[in-house]
Amino acid sequence: MNKIENNELIHSFEYLKSGDVVDIIAPSSKSHPSLLNNIKALLDAWGLKCHIPDDIFGDNLLYANSDENRFIQLKQALLNNHSKAVWCLLGGYGSTKLIPMLSQLQPPTKSKIFIGFSDITALHIFLQCKWGWPTVHGPSGYQAALKKVSMSSVNLLKDLLFHQFKKLVYDEIVPLNMLAKKDEVIDAPIIGGNLHMIQASLGTSWQINADNKILFIEEINERAYRIDRVLSQLNQAGIIEKSRAILFGDFIDKGEPDGRFLVKETLQEFSSQCAIPVLQLGNIGHGPTNNPILLGQTAKLTKGDTYHLEIVL
């Protein structure tokens, strides 16, 4: 089946095995070219082949390359019949500019593993809502190759990609409102990612559809009032009320000019006013530990006496 009905998942990807090819792309910001040797060495150590465009980095003021070149590389990676995964080097800014061109493509009949986070949230949302692909919100190629994130996160990503276990289980979950403390099991796919990228989708052709889904949100280096402002916009836009639950990831507090840190209390106050369960799962996002989570695949969120999230692979 290659048609999407009601934005439901229609594809599942093939997991990796030794000798498979991974496409490396930079749809957002750029990094130093020396990073490419590190990512090649990492994938070689994993027994994988690495395909990197010769012109992955170009001369551009804001992005890794021009919009046209970044889109060409994204398109080629997504449609490449010889690779089984696409790994984004890093986030930053720029992926949203590729979506109008991406929208013109016919979805391929086969999905593949797509990995990234932060600015890459825009592509996660598009691929899930428009193509029906599950995607992996997890460490960027930059983080993994340069050891900018815990090795436990990198190893967990590797094990996920090679299907070394049958399900992902997360148990460091904290309820943030009374509805989250009610005994219940929520079976629903997860959608979301970075808070401001979710906001960026509003009013576009790729607006996030969190209906009957668990809405995952993380953020970094934003003051409390900016966090509250965006959450209020999502609420007033009707995004939150139609979701089954909110699952906050890490929120790295930038702090206030007077030295206070108010994001934690802001999330708590927002949660107390929500008409759906709100919970928080640590170690996913921009912190030193960035564990992978599978978006789009049905998850089982158990709350009440115990709290854990399971995603069958």
Catalytic residues: 118, 218, 286
The residue among 80, 72, 5 whose CA lies nearest residue 49 is 80
Task: State the first-to-last Cα distance of the chain, in angstroms, to the nearest integer.
Answer: 20
Question: CA 67, CA 59: separation in Å to the nearest integer?
Answer: 11
Q: From CA 221, how far away is CA 253, in angstroms rounded?
A: 5
Q: Which residues lie below 8 Å from residue 108, measured CB to CB, with a gap of 6+?
A: 78, 79, 131
DSSP state for residue 77 in the 8-state scheme: H
CA atoms within 13 A on the CB side of 74: 31
Do 245 and 274 touch, CB atoms closer than 8 A? no
Within 10 A of 114 (CB to CB), how many other CB atoms are there?
Answer: 27
